[in-house]
Amino acid sequence: MSGKGGVGKSTVAAALGMASAGLGRRTLLVEVASQERMSRLFDQRDPIGYHVTPVYPGLDALSVDPQKALEEYLLGQVKVRAVYERMFENRVFGYFAAAAPGLRELVTLGKIRQLLQAGRHDVVVVDAPATGHGLGFLNVPRTFARIARTGPVHGRAKAIAALLDDAQRTAVVLVTTPEELPVGETLEAIEDLRDEGFPLAGVIANAVYEDIFDAGDADALAAIDARGAASAAAAAARSRLARTADQREQLERVRPCLAELPFLFEARLDVPAVATLGERLEGL
């Protein structure tokens, strides 16, 4: 799942994870930016960190720490712990690991692939970096397969790229809000994903104002001349009508969507609130 920053990508990813778990699929929700949004969303007492942690019935979560994923991968390659430890202490290697472009993204994606192969989960929902960063993220394995022309990195990068390219196994979902700039960025991302041949499943529109007023309401409220609570309600209604009309226009640019999720007026997004969004995603 990707999308412009600020559109509620993490919330929608969590909702999709809950919907998937609700349908009996063993689901893993993966966060890649170490921001611990999932631990806050699911009211975890401690950070989830680099541990597969149950957060909801049928749903586990994991926050991938690229440094730890890299250590884990290298330990797997080198096999002898003493050699591995010496290597990690080695400054040469440290510089290489810190500077090698895209290595962190590669090991993060490698970890996700490995978790799928472990067979404990049927589906992994990845809260990927925002569009812009997002496409770069998906492209990293292909790039690595190209620049490391031989050797273990080449093989591994190729296998990850094959997973991401496979429409049977991978679906890229873009989240947007029905606003001019996020929709514009979403349309650009759709173009780029198609050009690069990634399996785009579609768009989920988030924070959509429900149409609660009709034309008659608008007229009745426009006509009133009042003060106090009545005038406040009329002003709020006018704002709602203006925003809803703008949103309809923007939605047309990305329709048909996989789903359209309602704007939630709850002051805090808690587990039950996110679960109501999840219910709307069960058809996917």
Among residues 148 and 163, whose Cβ is nearest to other proteins? 148
Shortest reach from residue 246's CB to other proteins, in Å = 6
Shortest reach from residue 124's CB to other proteins, in Å = 20
Strands (E), the chain: 2-3, 27-31, 53-56, 59-63, 123-127, 172-176, 200-208, 259-262
Shortest reach from residue 238's CB to other proteins, in Å = 8
Helix intervals (H) in 166-284: 180-196, 215-223, 228-254, 271-279
Shortest reach from residue 199's CB to other proteins, in Å = 22
Q: What would you measure as the largest C-alpha separation in the chain, in angstroms?
A: 81
Q: Which amino acid is at 173?
A: V
Give CA–CA dist 32/280, Å, rounded.
25
Among residues 210 and 282, whose Cβ is nearest to other proteins? 210
* Sheet with 200-208: strands ordered across: 2-3, 172-176, 200-208, 259-262
Shortest reach from residue 280's CB to other proteins, in Å = 19
Give CA–CA dist 78/242, Å, rounded.
61
Among residues 60 and 105, whose Cβ is nearest to other proteins? 105
Shortest reach from residue 227's CB to other proteins, in Å = 9
Angle made by CA atoms 213, 279, 118, in degrees to the nearest 5: 150
Give CA–CA dist 14/275, Å, rounded.
9
Among residues 21 and 64, whose Cβ is nearest to other proteins? 64
